[in-house]
Amino acid sequence: MSVHSSQISFKTMGNSDVIDITQDVERIVEDTGIQDGIATVFVPGSTGAVTTIEYEPGAVDDLKTALERLMPENMDYKHDLRWGDGNGHSHIRAAFMGPSLTVPFLDGHLQLGTWQQIIFIDLDNRARSRNIIVQVMGE
């Protein structure tokens, strides 16, 4: 069993900016030389999330609309009262979506569906620099 860790770094615009990181994760898996195993994708921080979606404009807009319906930005959040930074909704959205995703791979290829991509979504209310940790385990 081998374990390799790597990072993906990029800047975001915040406000539910969605970044397709599928090719970055695939490249990391390929570079390890491991043929069969799992890749875990993790975002440190409490205002970002990792998930999968069909990465096309309609589905991405639908995701953003659903987040706004479920956890509206303009509600009163106790977090905002305490810190005054206006991103209480960001923390709640991130908690619901989750900070990580594990994807199996076989013969060095991620086992994603035809229309399934790995995305990072920056739920904070401002632009940020983000680092995503990708840990690959297998043989």
Residues 30-66 pLDDT 10s: 999 999 999 999 999 999 999 999 999 999 999 999 9
Helix (H) or strand (E) holding 137: strand 128-138
Taking each helix axis as running N to C, give the angle between helix 88-97 and helix 57-70, from 0 to 180 degrees, rounded to the nearest 10: 120
Structural contact between residues 77 and 92, judged by C-beta atoms closer than 8 angstroms = yes
Stretches in the chain below the pLDDT threshold 70: none
Structural contact between residues 97 and 51, judged by C-beta atoms closer than 8 angstroms = yes
Say what the pLDDT of residue 91 is. Answer: 98
Dist. CA 2–CA 68, nearest whole Å: 41
Range of the domain at 96: 2-138
Say what the pLDDT of residue 110 is. Answer: 98
The domain tally of the chain equals: 1
For tokens 């390929």, name the residue. Answer: 30
Give the angle 61-85-53 at the CA atoms, nearest 5°. Answer: 20
Local structure of 138: helix, strand or coil: strand
E-strand ranges in 57-116 read: 100-106, 109-110
Say what the pLDDT of residue 86 is. Answer: 95
CATH of the domain at 6: 2.60.120.460
